[in-house]
Amino acid sequence: MSLEKRKDTKEKEKKKDKDKLRDSSFRRDDFKPLGAKVILKEPDKQEEAPKIQKIERDISENVQEFESLEYISEEPYEKLSELEKDVLKIAENVLKLKRYDTDFEIESRAQIQRFPIIEELYAKSIAKLAYHKGYTKDEIFLGIRNLEKKNWIVTNERRTKMEILKDEKFLNILEFIRNNPGIHARDDKVEEELEITRTPFLKHIMTLERFELIRSKKIGKTLHYFLADVPEEYDDYKAIFLNPMIPEIIEELFIDEGISISKLAEKFDVYPGTIQYNLKKMKKLNLIKSTKNKAGKKIHLVNIDLLKKYNKLFKEPDFSTLLRGL
């Protein structure tokens, strides 16, 4: 067959698939095909329904909350007391005194002498704040302890969280992770967009984790990074979509919700058991639901509402083209 004929055949197949997608009866966010009644409901699914509804409710609330978050916002700083802000300014200079070990964790004033750097911070805070602002020693101690517990002062870091949030290189990484939630250190985007190699990236990541500005999640054998405020409910979805076959299965189900397991296996050149295993995982995460159409044929319906919510947080895989066809 000539190259021109092959190209023409492929274009016809693509057009055919698009027509199928456009003519698909599945249009709604609640898994119901238009004009169809659900004939069969699996008993175990009825038992799981309240759990699934709760998961979807939590996810919806978390998406709304996350959309309004600004990790470089001054709001967390504004929530600090005036005393804590004053102590934080003093701490910026004290933490840089390299003659002191920065390893500390205090629970009571009696422990202060065990940690020279905190003893120095405590003494300087008393000298600057007790007389001029009228704070008591107990109040100053509590201010130091609260800053440590809120991660504004961090063990083995010679700077405060405020200094991190003013540093351009850390802000760039935070913005990068915000735009690429779930990114890992070996991703080519790290070098392409941040223009740094993996080693300095990981070094900065460790600092941001210590200040609890980001969090990591091990998915398989790889650590993936998220802003600390990204809801953890999405971690399992991020994990399942690392398997490139999953988005492709979803695409096939969009085109033909009645496609058989054997046909899917043939398309992806895998055993039917592999398809069955992946469908089972997708059902568990409420990505798809199996039911029967009017004719009594088994079909798999995709939870498009969940895909929309997923794409509000994660750009990849991008389901916007599929969803546009609805």
User: By the 8 A CB rule, do 245 and 268 touch?
Assistant: yes
Average pLDDT over residues 239-248: 89
Which runs of E-coded beta strand occur in 58-98? none
Cβ partners under 8 Å of residue 217, min gap 6:
182, 223, 224, 226, 232, 235, 238
pLDDT recorded at residue 52: 53
Show the domains of the chain with their CATH numbers. Answer: 26-65+237-324 (1.10.10.10), 75-163 (no CATH), 165-228 (1.10.10.10)
317 residue type, one letter: P
pLDDT recorded at residue 277: 95
Instruction: Please calculate the CA angle 317-18-27 and round it to the nearest 5 degrees.
Output: 70
How do residues 47-103 score in pLDDT, each as one tens digit?
555 555 555 555 555 545 444 444 444 558 888 999 999 999 999 988 888 666 666
The pLDDT of residue 326 is above 60: no
pLDDT recorded at residue 99: 66
pLDDT recorded at residue 47: 52
Helix (H) or strand (E) holding 156: none
pLDDT recorded at residue 59: 52
pLDDT recorded at residue 81: 93
